[in-house]
Structure 1
């Protein structure tokens, strides 16, 4: 499990390999990851956008930007949380993801929340952040 805290907003990520979706002989590897966003601040926040860096074992980087997550822009009250699951395909058997969410307070202020860097490794590999 990987965790980061920005302005009392805690992001926790749990990645896992999906062997049934992957075809290693074709260099297609697929991971899912579950993200929990917990609001320990005193402000109501809304997740407006995401920015990801996805880096495979060969160093190839893909950037992903978009509104919200999984088609939602959740509002998270103080003490509340939001959880979602998404996925990531790679052409290598390992990689890393990192990024940030752009949040907005109920007063209209925008700020970035760090997503912790996390490894995408096969289950029999030692888990490390590259």
Structure 2
């Protein structure tokens, strides 16, 4: 698991290879990732947008941007945690992702960019 803290918001990521949905012979590798967002600030925050960069070890880079996370724009009070699971497919057995969330402080409308730590996705047989 990797974590980072930006402006009092802790983002942690854990990945898992999904062998039953992958097909290495067709260069199709599926991973899930569990994101934990913890509001350790003194302010109520709302997650508005996500912005991802997905790097495949074959040189492909994809950029994904959109509202919320898995269809939600959660509001987190100080001390609250929001978790969600999403997925990514790669054309190679190794890749990585990184990005940012755009969050807004409810009290004054100030928008903040929160770092999503870079994390790797590696098929387990590549670790031997």
What is the TM-score when the length of structure 1 is the normalising length?
0.95
Task: State the partner residue of 1:36.
Answer: 36
Q: Which runs of 5+ in 2 are unaligned?
A: none
Task: State the partner residue of 1:59.
Answer: 59
**2:13 pairs with 1:2:** no
**2:47 pairs with 1:47:** yes
Large movers: runs of 4+ above 4 Å = none
Counting only pairs closer than 5 Å after superposition, residues 1-130 of structure 1 correspond to structure 2 as 1-106=1-106, 107-126=108-127
* In 2: Cα distance, 1:84 partner to 1:13 partner: 10
Q: Alpha-carbon deviations, 1:47-69, whole Å to 9, x = none?
A: 00000000000121000000000
Q: CA deviation at 1:125?
A: 3.1
What is the aligned-residue RMSD (CA, Å)? 0.7
What is the TM-score when the length of structure 2 is the normalising length?
0.96
